Structure 1
Amino acid sequence: MKEPDRIVGELMQPGGVSALHKLGLSECLEDIDAVVVNGYNVIYYGKEVIIPYPYDTTEKTRTMKESRPVGWCFHHGRFIRKLREACAREPNITIFETTVKGTVSTDNNEQVLGVKTETTDPMDGSKKPDYFFGGLTIAADGYASTLRKQYISKTPVAKSKFYALELIDCPIPTPNHGHIILSDNAPVLIYQIGTHETRALIDVPDNLPTAKAALGGVKAHIRNVVVPTLPEIIKPAFLKALDEGKLRSMPNSWLPPTSQQTPGIVVLGDAMNMRHPLTGGGMSVALTDVVILSDLLHPNRISDLSSPPAIALAMRTFHWRRKQLTSIVNILAQALYALFAASNAELKALQRGCFEYFLFGGACCDEPAGMLA
């Protein structure tokens, strides 16, 4: 299978690292040129405050055997490749490369039985219909899910996009930290994803006047409005990447979680729940969901995955148990984005107050960072 080349899922917070360990998949962070992350550097109009991940005496830190929790940044595709390799080593997993076109249900559409797909014939390259059946279908087809609308009534809301650049050999103000750059514009994120590569994500709200096509579009907005607000040491590599034209984008979506009712299918990941990626909580939520669900669906609890009553009970428990983490991550992501992308005088005053609160250090940094980690 081809290694994905995407600009999402490149930063894993300590909570995600802990969940990966619980799943027995910590080795997937090895040999992918991943970069350790020790916390954040928030740069407010050129003034910096370092916010390390706080000391944690809970089981999460003991599991990772670190004095402080750490996160990791990496190329998304390399991490996915390692996950696939781990799956391929399991004797009870069979991997098929095919494109899902929809679900297969009972005649009355009350229960999902499997999926219909298109599989490429290796001999002539033609696509042929295929079908896969199982007691339980798990759909995790991402933020642009084609299956979501059939089983979840809510639709994602996006009011901005992240435009991404890959900076080569770019010095950054504080190595091994994620950088959040605040100015008169929406926030810019900078974090290193490899020995030579650093990701820059520029938030551009919808219908932004300075990004109109008549003024040169998003690229001109970034060059004329965003670049002057960046730290000087970042600008050369940033401008070089911008000149090379390698600008990619993704919507910043909000989709609240939904308690699922349809027998035979479970929708997970970004297909089920999204928040603004500013805080990098997506993989922590997704991997923690897997930890919870793998426990609830364990053969010791449910011997037959085709039993709708048993799955329905497990999903009700799942929906409430996941709130311990996801409610915090979801609320903070949306609230901090509203604050960091402040668009009026009142929010700007709160933004300044938030930064000056961080400057006190101690619990003023540890507690918010701990919730995000």
Structure 2
Amino acid sequence: MSPVTDRVGPRHNPTAGAALPVNLRDLRDEAWRRLDPAHRDYFTGGAGDERTLRANETAFDAYRLLPRVLRGGGERDLRTPLLGGTLSMPVLVSPTAFHRLAHPDGEVGCARAVAGADTVLVLSMAATTPVEAVAAAMDAADRPGRLWFQLYPQPDLGFTESLVRRVEAAGCRALVVTVDSPVLGRRERDLRNGFLDLPPGLGCENMRDPETGRIRDIVLDADLDWPRIDWLRGVTRLPVVLKGILHPADARLAVAHGVDAVWVSNHGGRQLDGAATAVDALPSVVDAVGDRVPVLLDGGIRRGTDVLTALALGATAVGVGRPVLWGLAARGEPGVRQVLDLLRADLGQAMTLAGAVRPADLGPDLLNRMPR
């Protein structure tokens, strides 16, 4: 054992029957071994030739860190203010569909893990568990969690408003409106596998019509526009976050239309193949909005150094999607806890090595972009 010790905790205690993962890819490999190949491809795949999917991760390679030394400062503090609350760290869980396809614990297990980590779960509109059950699971956890709801505004405005009322009643604290999906991206893995629908017994429970009991299809609406965002803001008091922003002009429009945060994302490479990576688009979006609203980011976050890079470029917090699904598929609720624990410890260590005590200490002076 090395005689060198530090305070980069937390230390993970062994759990019966499973070796401790060293990094997120350990959980990915375990998840891939457990998943049905068609379901694995659904969670893993991207659109078209998957250029954007691959680039989301490799784009972080262009940044090198310029750490500061002899900064002192005491214990790290990862707490992050966001939309009226405070996260325990600048990492939240991005919306991803069909958790019960990955593991029977599903969205409920994920919610308990996120509540224990004292951060935010953005529940997908395409969740296989109703929002009320997910909210109850978070409330029953050891520490109160935070639940936001991801929304594709539907052409049926009456149904959309009724769903907004439903998630408000369930205790959701923000609406995350996905705006990068006027149509579904061409996901060729799913086409080859014939994966067109969920297995019997699973459905998009938040789309269940309260009057008929029938589960509606989620309609991706090519007519979605800024007036619809204005309408949505008029029917809810919840903060509205726009997810899927890459162009700085759209970021400026979002602020002009009164949204509460913008989320830089290319949908995990699942929509427009060849789109810019989120980390490459981030600086221009941050410049466009200034300090008027928080800027979030997801896409390719796999390490604490990835989180650090995004924060240094101006993000308030980052979201993780696929890694949470890896943890869920591999080990259920405990696997999601391990994903969040690993990211917390990795980020804390990276910040200490970079000479930062809190996220606010991170800025672009800590980065050097390498030519590609």
Q: Which structure has greater helix proportion?
A: 2
TM-score range, shorter chain: under 0.3
**Whose RCO is larger (CA < 8 A, sep 6+)?**
2
Which structure is larger by alpha-carbon Rg, 1 or 2?
Answer: 1
TM-score (norm 1): 0.27
Q: Which structure has greater strand proportion?
A: 1
TM-score (norm 2): 0.27
